[in-house]
Structure 1
Amino acid sequence: MNLRTRTLIYAAVALVLLLLPAALSPMLGGDRLATHLAERNEPPSWTHPFGTDWLGRDMFARSMKGLALSLGVGLTAALASGLIAGALGLMAAALGKAADRFITWLIDLFLSVPHLVLLLLIAFVTGGGAKGVIIAVGLTHWPSLARLIRAELLQLKSSEFVLVSRHMGRSNWWIATRHLLPHLWPQFIVGTLLLFPHAILHEGAITFLGMGLSPHQPAIGIILSESMRYLSTGMWWLAFFPGLCLVVLVRSFDVLAGGVHALVDPSRSQE
């Protein structure tokens, strides 16, 4: 068993250990998320594995709820961004040089703006909350994938079967839907998987900065933001465990997406 295989197994195990409690997080609500002033500020124990906060709420339940929220928002935003990238990449390859120049200019424009600044600006304009985060992440994560899809489809346009179809009088739309679109799916799936961990991380970042999910929701960014004021009092567990869960989740998805990319792209499988 080589190093890549072992890394993929470790990432899969870590994801199962995180996703299972996150999926069951609705069952962890109620009493565990309620205020218990008699149990406030307790360090990690068997009863409260992640400790309790300044209101006596169980940090394990709050962290799993936060991961479930991050997964939902991240998945929706990554799918939206992937669809935008696929549509623009296909249009650049199929609609002629004028469309290609415009889409290339649009990609360069988005890539030239500082990423976090654009995220915060869009989230602010759209009113924040889950809707604002999804729109902000979806509208800012597509350029790199769109550039990759465009380059691959432009290369396919010079393939023999595409040239034969063009000589037979097939339209650009027919060639795009019958020849180019089927080759787009592997890149779309892998690209969306690679966007997913970045979407989760950026959702946590803009929520931490106050432009994301509502403070009343136990999102990871909210938990980390609230815990900052208590770190100086020695309550390290308030930030450590939620932050560790977020890092492990993002890194595990990143490793698994890289493994899927290696399966789809033979040139990477020997790396």
Structure 2
Amino acid sequence: MSQPQPRLRAAFSLGVVALLVVGLVASQWLLGDSPQQMQFDARLAPPSVEHWLGTDALGRELWARTLAGLALSFWVGCLAALLSTLIALSLAALATLSARLDALVSLLIDTLLSVPHLILLMLIAFALGGGTQAVIIAVAVTHWPSLARVLRAELWQLRQAPYVRISRALGKSRWFVLHGHLLPHLLPHCLVGALLLFPHAILHEAALTFWALA
């Protein structure tokens, strides 16, 4: 009787998160350009029925601007986490093809991990000219090393599995072994890694935005 309760809680939590995400995405179409609309006769208005969270110095609705900022952070976090996961998976798979590639990928991972994270983010975003796309790219190309190291170690361990050795003994290609045997085992690791990268990407996106406005 106790087993369905964790599943029920997990399903309920997943439903709440899904509703929040759908509401956040749908709010962008419902709000339109209201986050940018200025009302000079209602500047710095306190929270009220007409202005739920009040207004700023230009009379813009703070609740609309809050939702717009949440939506932007959500998309930046999703795209950056997805791109970082793809980069980590690609480099981890590349490292298993030969000893030289493995040494090159390991050197690249160690090099990026040795550089101060936030400074590297600022340099990349500044080199790309700033803006949302620059922030997404900067966050994506700097957040993959830790996940790539985990995936690389998992791939090297899976290469010694009996079914992988049998597949190689039967003359299967490296691409078949990688695509048919190794990558399916990495999908749970990639999912967990992407979920962990998501809040990390949002925090660094906020840090970059604060640095750009300072």
Shift of 1:67: 1.1
Of 179, 189, 193, which aligns to 1:187?
189
Task: State the distance in 2 between where 1:171 and 1:32 align.
Answer: 55
For residues 81-100 of structure 1, the aligned pairs below 5 Å read 81-93=84-96, 95-100=97-102
The answer on 1:125 being equivalent to 2:127 is: yes
The residue number in structure 2 matching 1:44 is 47
The residue number in structure 2 matching 1:203 is 205
Task: State the distance in 2 between where 1:85 and 1:28 align.
Answer: 37
Of 66, 77, 80, which aligns to 1:63?
66
The residue number in structure 2 matching 1:176 is 178
Do the aligned residues in 2 keep the contact of 1:120 with 1:206 (CA within 8 Å)? yes
Q: Which amino acid aligns with 1:29?
A: G
Do the aligned residues in 2 keep the contact of 1:25 with 1:61 (CA within 8 Å)? no
The residue number in structure 1 matching 2:31 is 28
Shift of 1:82: 0.7
Do the aligned residues in 1 keep the contact of 2:44 with 2:59 (CA within 8 Å)? yes
Q: Which amino acid aligns with 2:156?
A: L
Task: State the distance in 2 between where 1:166 and 1:54 align.
Answer: 68
SS of the aligned residue for 2:59 comes to coil
TM-score, length-normalised on structure 2? 0.87
Task: State the distance in 2 between where 1:90 and 1:18 align.
Answer: 32
Q: Which amino acid aligns with 1:196?
A: F
RMSD in angstroms over aligned alpha carbons? 2.5
Deviations 1:163-193 (A, max 9, x none): 1112223232221122112212221222112
Task: State the distance in 2 between where 1:31 and 1:136 align.
Answer: 29
Shift of 1:92: 1.3
Of 149, 152, 161, which aligns to 1:150?
152
Task: State the distance in 1 between where 2:17 and 2:173 align.
Answer: 49
TM-score, length-normalised on structure 1? 0.70
Shift of 1:80: 0.9
Shift of 1:78: 1.2
Do the aligned residues in 2 keep the contact of 1:22 with 1:64 (CA within 8 Å)? no
Task: State the distance in 1 between where 2:47 and 2:9 align.
Answer: 30
Aligned length: 211
Q: Which amino acid aligns with 2:108?
A: L
Structure with larger RCO (C-alpha < 8 A, sep 6+)? 1
Task: State the distance in 2 between where 1:98 and 1:129 align.
Answer: 37
The residue number in structure 2 matching 1:252 is none
The answer on 1:74 being equivalent to 2:87 is: no
The residue number in structure 2 matching 1:108 is 110
Pair 9,119 (structure 1): closer, same or farther in 2 beyond 3 Å = farther
SS of the aligned residue for 2:129 comes to coil
Do the aligned residues in 1 keep the contact of 2:139 with 2:204 (CA within 8 Å)? yes
The answer on 1:164 being equivalent to 2:175 is: no
Do the aligned residues in 2 keep the contact of 1:23 with 1:68 (CA within 8 Å)? no
Q: Which amino acid aligns with 2:31?
A: L
Shift of 1:115: 0.6
Q: Which amino acid aligns with 1:34?
A: Q
Q: Which amino acid aligns with 1:38?
A: D
Shift of 1:7: 9.5
Shift of 1:33: 3.3
Task: State the distance in 2 between where 1:159 and 1:9 align.
Answer: 38
Give unpaired runs (5+ residues) of structure 2: none
Shift of 1:26: 2.9
Pair 24,176 (structure 1): closer, same or farther in 2 beyond 3 Å = same
